[in-house]
Amino acid sequence: MLDFEKGLPPEQLSPLTLAFVGDAVYEVFIRTKLSKDVNMQSSKLHKQAIRYVSAVAQSAIVHAIEDKFTDEETAVYKRGRNAHTHTSAKNADIVDYRHATGFEALIGYLYLKKDSVRLNEILEMGYNAVKE
């Protein structure tokens, strides 16, 4: 993995920076998970991935698992959710987009904090919430 020892601690990064990283981490997790579960054409894998990575899906994930967040995780999620962005999702309303941004901020935070155990727990809970 990449080493961020010399950078700012995740607590000092903006929530949108955390979401920027979290978006990539979550995308790689979903693509890897789907690739391991099935063997199909990449175009079909992409369609499956959209079920998990869209703003609407991420918003639904948050609602399904947010009661399992620690106080610290809730604070990071809320920072991301309440951050003012200058962009919006193509296929989601602003409320879903903000919840998704909060979820991505939490994923980015856990990744940069190098809390791989908790990151994996949250990612698996989210994956299972969509799968069900």
Condensed to tens digits (0 to 9), the pLDDT of residues 115-132 reads: 999 999 999 999 999 876
Phi, psi at 99, each rounded to 5°? -65, -40
Active site residues per annotation? 23
Task: Give 25's contacts (C-beta < 8 A, 6+ positions apart).
Answer: 107, 108, 111, 119
Name the stretches of the chain with pLDDT < 70.
1-6, 37, 88-89, 132
Q: What is the mean pLDDT of the chain?
A: 89
- What's the pLDDT at 36? 83
DSSP code for 85: -
